[in-house]
Amino acid sequence: MSGPGVVVRRAPGKLFVAGEYAVVDGGSPAVLVAVDRYVTVTLTPRQVPGVEISSDLGPAGSTWSWAGTRLIPAPGTDPAVEGRLAHVRSAIETVAGLLAARGRGLPGCHLAVTSTLHEGGTKYGLGSSGAVTVAAIDALCAFAGLDTDAEQRFRLALLATAALDPRASGGDLAASTWGGWVCYQAPDRAHLARLAARDGVAAALTAPWPGLGLRTLTAPAGLDLQVGWTGRPASTAALVAGLDAASWRGGPAHERFVTATNDCVRALVAALDGGQAAGVLQQVDAAGRQLAVLDEQVGLGVFTPALRALVEAARQAGGAAKPSGAGGGDCGIALLAAGAPHSRAWLHRAWNRAGVLPLPLKVAATIAR
């Protein structure tokens, strides 16, 4: 039997359209869109056991060996390298766990990561961690000869992510797996992490996942999606952790925010399903206003001056806009309707004057496999 050949897989980046923060708790829906910047993972066979990893997202290369179910870096590896490769490492360990349950091991390989989600070392906040996890899971499954469908690969990616951070919603993984516009509701990731640790990846993969909701949506006809980068990177994990530090979670303000945000997301999905452009604009604007209320209550810094300018310019242009994701920097989105008072070019000029860089992004096609 011949060994595995070279495998190449890619996954798109993402942007949140509505549902940020609420989706983290589970049971709340969010709408995301995949964009046409990609992480590509290439797997090449090696004649020796273990995994060699190279990535243009960070370190030039490092060699890892197996110690039981864990990948261990070569002695002397910079801890910063380990941190930058955490999602890739977890993806490898997760697929290896599935193989082990079937009495197999992962063949030796070289795993190379390339990305267009950043330029010149600058990350735009388009979900590189999620995209690299999805692309790595897809490539590893193909390399190992595992016959998996999109939902199984998504589940493996969420198990890999939950092993690192059970608070991560997994919405980025859904967008990177299916492409296009996606409605997503998170299961209990802490439960999944415990289940995988106790019973193994194979058992966790096939167990019921209460609360999980996934479906693709129809792109909004007559609306032009525009994306602006604020020039400032942000840490989603730090911003989400700030809510706990502020004792906001579980209180009345939290409940009001989640209820109002859920109402926005459900109305947005209904507008998308019905092809109602005006309704889509209304709910995107409403979701942004809920983020502003949260920001005022907790003082997280969701709305930076650049994001405020981005939103205001889009409203002046006759569109709707909001931060995408946790805010505090990264990107904002705007939707302009045909016949809006001002054009895309006008909006871009306004953004440039405010120090916001328009990004030439399009919606990534829905992936059917």
pLDDT in tens, 201-224: 999 999 999 999 999 999 888 999
Q: State the pLDDT at residue 1.
A: 34
Mean pLDDT within 52-81: 86
pLDDT in tens, 334-360: 999 988 878 899 999 999 999 999 999
Instruction: Return the percentage of the chain with pLDDT > 70, whole number.
Output: 96
Q: State the pLDDT at residue 99.
A: 97
Residue 59 has pLDDT above 70, yes or no: no
pLDDT in tens, 13-39: 999 999 999 999 888 999 999 999 999
Confidence category of residue 95, pLDDT binned at 50, 70, 90: very high
What fold characterizes domain 223-359?
Answer: Alpha-Beta Plaits (3.30.70)
Where does the chain show beta strands of DSSP type E?
A: 7-18, 29-45, 51-55, 62-67, 70-73, 109-115, 118-119, 122-123, 181-185, 213-217, 223-229, 320-323, 331-337, 357-359
Rg of the chain in Å (alpha carbons): 21
Mean pLDDT within 314-327: 94
Q: Which of 77-86, 89-98, 229-238 has the lowest mean pLDDT?
A: 229-238
Residue 261 has pLDDT above 60, yes or no: yes
Say how far apart CA 175 and CA 367 lie, in whole Å. 10
What are the domain boundaries of the chain?
Answer: 7-217, 223-359
Q: State the pLDDT at residue 40.
A: 97
**2.40.160.10, 3.40.50.720, 3.40.1190.20, 3.30.230.10: CATH of 7-217:** 3.30.230.10
Residue 136 has pLDDT above 90, yes or no: yes
- CA dihedral 237→243→246→247, nearest 10 degrees, is -130
- CB-count exposure of residue 250 (10 Å: 0-12, 13-18, 19+): exposed
Contact 304, 319 (CB under 8 A): no
Residues in contact with 192: Cβ distance below 8 Å, sequence separation at least 6, in sequence order: 158, 159, 162, 166, 204, 209
Q: State the pLDDT at residue 57.
A: 67
Say how far apart CA 175 and CA 150 lie, in whole Å. 11
Q: In what order do the strands lie in the sheet with 357-359?
A: 320-323, 331-337, 223-229, 357-359
Confidence category of residue 58, pLDDT binned at 50, 70, 90: low
Instruction: Say which amino acid occupies 49.
Output: P
